[in-house]
Amino acid sequence: MTPILVLVDKLEAGQAWLKWLPVLCPAIASIVVSIVTSFPFQKNSLAANTAVELLEAEQEKFILGVTLPYRCYDVSEETQQQKKASQALEYFIVQVNNIHLNQLQQTSETQSEKTESTLSNESNKVEAEVTNQNKQ
């Protein structure tokens, strides 16, 4: 796109904003790229969508009773059925909590990686400053 913008700049159309176009477009592109690399929007949205899909799948399993822990209607006796229903509900809550816990762990791991990289960058700067001071 930049070569086209340079050609537009060579045209003498008399428009002042056309002369700034070859400078503004790369500047805007670099700003957008730095924002995208600084904040992992795609990674966060992918993790959130995965968690939503897992939660919806677990909800469907619970409602339909398709897996063994959720089958509480197979028993004919009322007290046994209530006991199985209680166990199914407990299992559902545990599964939902595990999904949330996994998502939180992934989020905290990415934040700790960012913190570790920031700390290592700062320590490298400090070491470089100390080395420079020792050389002087």
Per-residue model confidence as pLDDT tens digits over 86-131: 999 999 999 999 999 998 888 777 777 767 666 666 666 656 665 6
CA-based angle 113:116:117, to the nearest 5?
Answer: 85
Instruction: Classify residue 72 by its DSSP letter.
Output: -
Per-residue model confidence as pLDDT tens digits over 15-48: 676 667 777 778 888 898 888 888 878 888 888 8
As a whole number of angstroms, the longest Cα–Cα distance in the chain is 90
Residue 31 to residue 23: CA distance in whole angstroms:
13
